A = this chain, B = another copy of it.
Amino acid sequence: MSKTQTAKTKLLDAALSLIREKGFTATTVDDLCARAGVSKGAFFHYFKSKDELGVAAAQHWSAVTGELFERASFRERTDPLERLLAYIELRRELLRGEIAAFSCVVGTMVQETYGQHPQIRDACAASIFGHADTLVDDIAEAMRQRGVVADWTAESLAAHTQAVLQGAFILAKAKNDVAVAIESVDHLRRYVELLFAPPAQTRSAS
């Protein structure tokens, strides 16, 4: 178990960092082996092909991030709207350091693979929308609690949060500056606040 899993896990961890740095296509099998510190034989022992590693990397990413958000302190909040806003605040705080340290593996990977590698695309979709699903119950409950009758669904708002984050990563990459991403997350927070603001009430313009 200990050594058995290490080569595979090292390869998957190497995949996460390399895909974030260079993308999936530009990452070669030799790159992966070098960063993981294993041989090519180990690679093809665990993965039948580079594509299969792509699928496994997406699933690995889901597992790693899933655990991160499950253990995060914002989960302790009981009020659903507060928990949603705390989630957004956490996403904002995670925008620290190098872009490759906070950007999304599957968002990057799906752009390159959606038309050529359907299995990788589907694994990326499962990761993104699986994560979005963790927000749906809170959004739905917040809508109920605050009496929000809307022409949008909890699912669509959950997906929208992920769209904003993915787009924020792209803008940060383009500008080579995380500030623009932070501002977009601020807009997202403001949007959620406006959606759930008490009705029939004077609102400030900010």
Residues of A within 8 A of B (CB): 21-23, 25-26, 99-100, 106-108, 110-112, 114-116, 121, 124-125, 128-129, 147-152, 156-157, 159-160, 162-168, 170-171, 173-176, 180-181, 183-184, 186-187, 190-191, 194-195, 197, 199-206
Contact = CB atoms under 8 A, between A and B. Distances in A.
Contacts of A176: 114, 121, 125
Given A121-B176, A128-B174, A129-B175, A150 B191 contact: no
Given A159-B184, A174-B128, A174-B129, A199 B191 contact: no
B174 A170 contact: no
B25 A110 contact: no
A184 B22 CA distance: 28
A166 B124 CA distance: 16
Nearest to A27: B25
A163 B159 contact: no
Given A124-B174, A156-B184, 8 more contacts: A110-B170, A114-B173, A121-B176, A125-B174, A148-B205, A159-B183, A159-B184, A163-B180
Contacts of A110: 170, 173-174
Contact of A165 (B106, B165, B167, B206): B167
Contact of A173 (B22, B111, B170, B183): B111
Contacts of A152: 183, 186-187, 190, 206
Contacts of A186: 152, 156
Contacts of A197: 203
Contacts of A159: 171, 180, 183-184
A181 B114 CA distance: 15
Contacts of A156: 180, 183-184, 186-187
